Amino acid sequence: MKKVKLTDNFEVSPLIHGHWRLQEWNLSDRELLKLTEQLIELGITTFDHADIYGNYSCEQLFGNALALNKNLRNNIQIITKCGIKPVSNRFPKRQTGYYDYSFDHIISSVNNSLENFKTDHIDLLLLHRPSPFFNPEEVAETFYKLKQQGKVLHFGVSNFNPGQYEMLDGFLKETLVTNQVEISPYCLDHFENGNIEFFLKKKIKPLAWSPLAGGKILNPESEKEKRIFSALSKVADELEVKSIDKIVYCWLYKHPAHVIPILGSGKISRIKKAIEAFDIEMSTEQWFEIYIASPGQPLP
């Protein structure tokens, strides 16, 4: 698969492997290494993390696997996120979950991530969620420091709206490279809040988390989920495709915003379906059939 350029000097794979549920896969270090090597052979070289994933354990699990084959680090791109401080048994004195984008916390979080991954740099650091308490000048200073030290090569955000993105970007010496947001036939929020138009205008390629809506699309229960499943099934029949998830990925790929899905599965068979979806030709009418099924009413 051809790499996708987020900037002139930074590329990621067109599919990203997400490690949010890595702890739940119960893989040994050796098994995780084997999975990682299989993914690289398939062309998936970018891996998405966050400091808090797995109650602060997933970065370390991945780092332990990478340590078994140190040559892999040169062939992959590591993304991680920081800023959320949840109530956690790791920090029993914390009474309230909140967001922290102070200089000290971002620096500390990055240093912890570097130690967990057993590496000297993070390819892409994202601020995990927008915060109502946010000092862009302090964040800009922190990013500059990390860049100068070589600890983080590129910066972005997650779950920001256009105004929040532009606000932070205006304070930085180097532009943000992406925004990781939820996009799926189930979640159309970013078609409605101006983000998709913003991505197109600024030529930002978004990373899409939860492209299968956490399984809601494949195992429908609510009326909305059933409508979407029905529309996906109809298009799948028309295109002679047996797998519903292939149609979902094709729906994402077709959009001119160049959406990059994050795959949260530890099963190679599921991941191969996402790769095979690149070969499916979906019509614009079929794309809209799926889109319209989500709100359940025709376009105005």
Q: At 268, is the pLDDT very low, low, confident or very high (cuts 50, 70, 90)? A: very high
Element spanning 155, H or E? strand 152-158
User: To the nearest whole percent, how much of the chain has pLDDT over 90?
Assistant: 97
Q: How far is CA 84 from CA 8, 88, 106, in A?
A: 30, 11, 10
Q: Which residue has the tokens 């319209």?
A: 292
Burial class for 300, CB neighbours closer than 10 Å (0-12, 13-18, 19+):
exposed
130-166, pLDDT tens digit by residue? 999 999 999 999 999 999 999 999 999 999 999 999 9
Under DSSP, the state recorded for 112 is H
Q: What predicted TM-score, i.e. pTM, was given to this entire model?
A: 0.97
What pLDDT, in 10s, does the model give residues 182-236?
A: 999 999 999 999 999 999 999 999 999 999 999 999 999 999 999 999 999 999 9
Give dist(CA 102, CA 83) in Å, integer: 9
Rounded to 10°, the helix 195-202/162-169 angle is 40
Residue-range domains of the chain with CATH: 4-219+246-282 (3.20.20.100)
pLDDT at 88: 85
Give the closest residue to 160 by CA, choosing from 85, 81, 215, 51: 81
Question: Do the Cβ atoms of 206 and 183 come closer than 8 Å?
Answer: yes
**Among 152, 184, 202, which Cα is nearest to 259's?**
184
Query: Positive or negative, the Cα torsion across 106, 108, 109, 114?
Result: positive
Question: 290 φ, ψ to 5°?
Answer: -70, -45
Please tell me the predicted confidence (pLDDT) of residue 246: 98
Contacts of 73 (CB under 8 A, 6+ apart): 66, 119
53 is catalytic: yes
CA distance 188 to 228: 12
Average pLDDT score over the chain? 97
Q: How confident is the model at residue 91 (pLDDT cuts 50, 70, 90)?
A: confident
* 74-85 residue pLDDT tens: 999 999 999 999
